Amino acid sequence: MTREQLFEQILKKKSYLCVGLDTDPKKLPQHLLDTEDPVFEFNRQIIEATADLCVAYKPNIAFYEAQGPQGWVSLEKTLQVIPENIFTIADAKRGDIGNTSELYARAFFETMQFDSVTVAPYMGADSVKPFLVQEGKWVILLALTSNAGSQDFQMLRLEDGNEEYLFEQVLRTSATWATADQMMYVIGATQAEYVQRVRKLVPNHFLLVPGVGAQGGSLEDISRLGMNQQCGLLVNSARGIIYASSGRDFAAKAREAALAVQREMEVCLEQYVRHV
Amino acid sequence: MTREQLFEQILKKKSYLCVGLDTDPKKLPQHLLDTEDPVFEFNRQIIEATADLCVAYKPNIAFYEAQGPQGWVSLEKTLQVIPENIFTIADAKRGDIGNTSELYARAFFETMQFDSVTVAPYMGADSVKPFLVQEGKWVILLALTSNAGSQDFQMLRLEDGNEEYLFEQVLRTSATWATADQMMYVIGATQAEYVQRVRKLVPNHFLLVPGVGAQGGSLEDISRLGMNQQCGLLVNSARGIIYASSGRDFAAKAREAALAVQREMEVCLEQYVRHV
């Protein structure tokens, strides 16, 4: 999917919501446990209930990997029921030496048909570039994450005369590897105070924003500070939507939760994106 | 496996060789392609031919993941034929927010029975610590990798008054998260000039060393500079061993290649480890 196509979807749906399919087999509604593939059945119903309210789905790969081979089967089947016009993110946080990153790229872009994959920057250019070979396929690079551990290394100051943080150097360097048409960045919603520094370095890139809701980030803050003229944000919500209810009404309740977020997003889009 | 048990194996076998099971389905000998699971069959014969010459096996997970669910089946079967007294490394380079890293830990330590998993440090303490919950299970943290991209971020100088590199701060900080009984570090063989700086910060930890052979690192250099009193090194070789021949004799040739490395290691052990 191209950047223009993604922005079109955002305008059409008045939403920049990404639904996190972090499906934990231990949290499934009781009545699904008898189905052939409960994880897939849960995802299928969540997708059916929310597809008109969101522009992206993001399965965190760990949840599937933890199930062994069956988890990968559930994931592949899930991919197949996501409508074509919805952006898909393999939240895998991969990254390895060149010939190995190529294999990960093959796994997520070919074996499965994801539009994008999250990648960790620590190993540098040749660990990231193998994911950048196909048009319409994206790298979403970790820059400033939402967790407490982001303080340990991402926020270290560099001896460069500019008092820059490591995450700023990651943005600056990686922005030379690909344009805003192939690269996005993970910026945690809990890091709103740094979003202006991010936007100075990457004004046009989309940011994938986890950490709204359960982790305490504010949708209003991140939208006000982070939006650009093409929206430029995908805000992820997982637990708040997919586990809105643990009963037979889980899909209906997920829809209600997604709708509440979408309405808030509609207001932010009108307020902060000039095109709308 | 404990550090003492690993050192015992090293002394017994006079080897600190780790064989990288980076099994690419496109490089398999022709005659294996008719077997039920060619990747597994290849691994099984490689393991049978080399198990007395090495102390560790390290499948790079990308090679299996790229095959979809079948790849995970081949990987699980491979794990089952590795003898108990050989250390196993899931070279996965994972790392995510706390509750997600827990799932990766479950995938590699429980669903599969690996002794260790390689982890990327960028997301900090709470992305690494979930891998540290079980005695005898190890984190092998990326510190200074063997690839060209290691220059991009790992070698950035920090504004800390000590002119330290980022990888040194990664060692310094992460060494407070776990002792040398649960943590190892990835240090590329191509980085021999920095190994003394590494040993100042982590004198007792095992180092997992890729990059000897195809990538140009020297076994002698890394052994002289990096060994400690418990050896403290696992040196990985993949392509040089598993693809020593592409014919019917692949396993016999792999054994010859492993034997040549083991003999060089025996000399280094006698020369640089006082216990031996």
Give the other-Cβ count within 10 Å of B216's Cβ: 11
Sign of torsion over alpha carbons B202, B204, B208, B212: positive
Confidence of residue B16 (pLDDT cuts 50, 70, 90): very high
The set of catalytic residues of A is 93
pLDDT attached to residue A217: 86
pLDDT in tens, B38-66: 999 999 999 999 999 999 999 999 999 99
pLDDT attached to residue B276: 47
For B70, name the nearest residue in chain A, comparing CA atoms only: A69
**CA distances (Å), A139 to each of A72, A132, B252, in order?**
21, 7, 41
pLDDT attached to residue B211: 86
Contact assessment for residue B144 and residue B188, using Cβ atoms and an 8 Å cutoff: yes
Tokens of A170: 């990651």
Nearest beta carbon to residue B159 from set A60, A150, A159: A159
Confidence of residue B161 (pLDDT cuts 50, 70, 90): confident
pLDDT attached to residue B207: 98
Tokens of A20: 């996190």
Maximum CA extent, chain A: 61
The pLDDT profile of chain A, 276 residues, written as one tens digit per residue, is 999 999 999 999 999 999 999 999 999 999 999 999 999 999 999 999 999 999 999 999 999 999 989 999 999 999 999 999 999 999 999 999 988 999 999 999 998 999 999 999 999 999 999 999 988 999 999 999 999 999 999 999 998 777 899 999 999 999 999 999 999 999 999 988 999 999 999 999 999 999 887 778 899 999 999 999 999 999 999 999 999 999 999 999 999 999 999 999 999 999 998 654
For B63, name the nearest residue in chain A, comparing CA atoms only: A103
B125/A142 CB distance under 8 A: no
B93/A120 CB distance under 8 A: yes
Chain A residue numbers touching B124 (CB-CB < 8 A): 147-154
A175–chain B Cβ distance below 8 A for any pair:
no
Average of per-residue pLDDT values in chain B? 95
Which of A63, A64, A65 best probes binding to B when mutated, by most B CB atoms within 10 angstroms?
A: A65
For B73, name the nearest residue in chain A, comparing CA atoms only: A69
Confidence of residue B216 (pLDDT cuts 50, 70, 90): confident
Instruction: Look up residue A63 and give its amino acid.
Output: F
Task: Give the separation between CA A119 and CA A153, rounded to whole angstroms.
Answer: 16
Confidence of residue B217 (pLDDT cuts 50, 70, 90): confident
Task: Give the separation between CA B103 and CA B109, rounded to whole angstroms.
Answer: 10
Phi, psi of A213 (to 5 degrees): 90, -120
Closest approach of B220 to chain A, Cα-based (Å): 23
Nearest beta carbon to residue B111 from set A68, A166, A170: A68
pLDDT attached to residue B62: 95
Chain B residue numbers touching A173 (CB-CB < 8 A): 152-153
Query: Nearest Cα to B238, choosing from B57, B6, B38, B62?
Result: B57
Closest approach of B68 to chain A, Cα-based (Å): 6
ipTM for the predicted complex: 0.94
B121/A153 CB distance under 8 A: yes
**Secondary structure (H, E, C), B91-136:** EEEECCCHHHHHHHHHHHHHHCCCCEEEECCCCCHHHHHHHHCCCC
For B25, name the nearest residue in chain A, comparing CA atoms only: A103
Catalytic: B14? Answer: no
The region, left, alpha or beta by phi > 0 then psi within -120 to 50, assigned to residue B207 is beta
A62/B159 CB distance under 8 A: no
**CA distances (Å), B253 to each of A114, B44, B86, B248, B267, in order?**
39, 15, 21, 10, 22
Chain A residue numbers touching B69 (CB-CB < 8 A): 69-70, 72-73, 76
pLDDT attached to residue B274: 65
Give the other-Cβ count within 10 Å of A213's Cβ: 20
Contact assessment for residue A235 and residue A262, using Cβ atoms and an 8 Å cutoff: no
Query: Nearest Cα to B139, choosing from B97, B99, B100, B92?
Result: B92
Does the pLDDT of residue B180 top 90, yes or no?
yes
pLDDT in tens, B219-261: 999 999 999 999 999 999 999 999 999 999 999 999 999 999 9
pLDDT attached to residue B122: 98
B173/A154 CB distance under 8 A: no
Contact assessment for residue A91 and residue B64, using Cβ atoms and an 8 Å cutoff: no
The residue count for chain A: 276
Domains and CATH numbers, chain A: 3-272 (3.20.20.70)
Instruction: Look up residue B269 and give its amino acid.
Output: L
B153/A170 CB distance under 8 A: yes
